[in-house]
C-alpha cells in the first residue's frame, strides 16, 4: 500500500503513543516521516525501528513552544526534502487539577504546549503548503474539548481551542489546496495509560459503550485517512474516535 508515496509527513509528539503508531503506519504506506519530539531516546529509537525496515524517517529534537527551534527544523526539512505535505499536530501534555487547586504554572504549561505549540507549528508550515497549493493538517483534539472533564480545565480549554482553530484554518486555507481537520479521541491505551492500576483501567473501560479502550493504531488509521487523497473533500471536520463514550 503506498497512499503516501513521495509525501513528506511531519508528526509532532511522534516518538511514542499515537504519534509513533501514526509514524509507523505512514512510513509503511510510503511516506517520508519527520518525527518531532523532546524525548531523544524514544525519538531515535522510533526512527531506527523504521529505517531498519527500509523506511524513510528523520528524528528532530523540537520543543513546539520554541519558535526559533521550529524555524530551524523546518528549514532543515525543506533543505533536505523540498516540501512538507502533511502536518499532524499530535504533541500534547496534561497537568490535571480541579479549578480550585490548579496552579498558574499548570495552566500555562498546558496552554503553551497544547494550544500555542500547535499555532507555532502550523504558522511555520502553512505558508509552505500554501506555496505548494497542497497540504493536510490534522489537529489532535479530544472528546474532553467537546464535553469537558472533571479536573481538566486547562486540557479541555486547549482541546476546545483546537477545534476553533481547525474551523478557522479550514476556511482560510481551503482555497489554497490545504485541508484542516481535527480528531477527538476518547480513552486510548497508550503506553502511559497502560501503566495505570488495573482497577482504574477497568473503570475507564466500563464507561465506554464499546467496553474497551481504543488502540493507538486505530487513531493512527484515522489520521492516515484524513491525510490521504481519499479525504480530499473533508475539511473543517471534527471526528470523534471514542467507542461511543460521548453518546
Assess contact for 90 and 140: CB atoms under 8 A: yes
Residue 217, burial from CB neighbour count under 10 angstroms (0-12, 13-18, 19+): middle
Assess contact for 187 and 208: CB atoms under 8 A: yes
Catalytic residue among 59, 134, 155, 223: 155
- Nearest Cα neighbor of 190 from 201, 182, 181, 199 is 201
Which residues, including other chains, have CB under 8 Å from residue 206's CB and lie 6 or more apart? none
223 is catalytic: no
Q: Can you tell me the distance from the alpha carbon of 36 to that of 246, in angstroms, rounded to the nearest whole number?
A: 31
Please tell me what DSSP assigns to residue 113.
Answer: I
- Residue 115, classed as helix, strand or coil, is helix
Q: Can you tell me the distance from the alpha carbon of 112 to that of 169, in angstroms, rounded to the nearest whole number?
A: 19
Catalytic positions, written as ranges: 155
Amino acid at each position: 500500500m503506498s497512499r503516501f508515496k513521495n509525501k513528506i509527513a511531519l508528526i509532532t509528539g511522534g516518538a511514542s503513543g499515537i504519534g509513533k503508531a501514526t509514524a509507523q503506519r505512514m512510513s509503511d504506506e510510503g511516506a517520508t516521516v519527520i518525527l518531532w519530539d523532546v524525548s531523544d531516546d524514544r525519538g531515535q529509537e522510533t526512527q531506527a525501528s523504521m529505517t531498519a525496515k527500509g523506511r524513510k524517517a528523520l528524528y528532530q529534537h523540537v520543543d513546539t513552544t520554541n519558535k526559533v527551534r521550529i524555524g530551524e527544523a523546518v528549514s532543515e526539512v525543506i533543505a533536505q526534502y523540498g516540501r512538507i505535505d502533511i502536518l499532524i499536530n499530535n504533541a500534547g501534555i496534561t497537568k490535571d487539577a480541579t479549578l480550585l487547586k490548579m496552579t498558574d504554572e499548570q495552566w500555562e504549561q498546558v496552554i503553551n504546549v497544547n494550544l500555542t505549540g500547535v499555532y507555532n507549528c502550523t504558522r511555520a508550515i502553512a505558508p509552505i503548503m500554501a506555496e505548494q497549493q497542497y497540504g493536510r493538517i490534522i489537529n489532535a483534539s479530544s472528546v474532553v474539548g467537546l464535553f469537558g472533564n472533571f479536573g481538566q480545565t486547562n486540557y479541555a480549554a486547549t482541546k476546545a481551542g483546537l477545534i476553533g482553530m481547525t474551523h478557522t484554518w479550514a476556511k482560510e486555507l481551503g482555497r489554497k489546496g490545504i485541508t484542516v481537520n481535527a480528531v477527538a479521541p476518547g480513552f486510548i491505551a497508550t503506553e502511559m495509560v497502560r501503566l495505570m492500576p488495573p482497577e482504574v483501567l477497568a473503570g475507564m473501560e466500563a464507561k465506554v459503550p464499546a467496553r474497551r479502550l481504543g488502540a493507538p493504531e486505530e487513531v493512527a488509521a484515522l489520521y492516515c485517512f484524513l491525510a490521504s487523497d481519499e479525504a480530499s473533500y473533508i475539511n473543517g471536520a471534527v471526528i470523534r474516535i471514542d467507542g461511543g463514550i460521548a453518546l
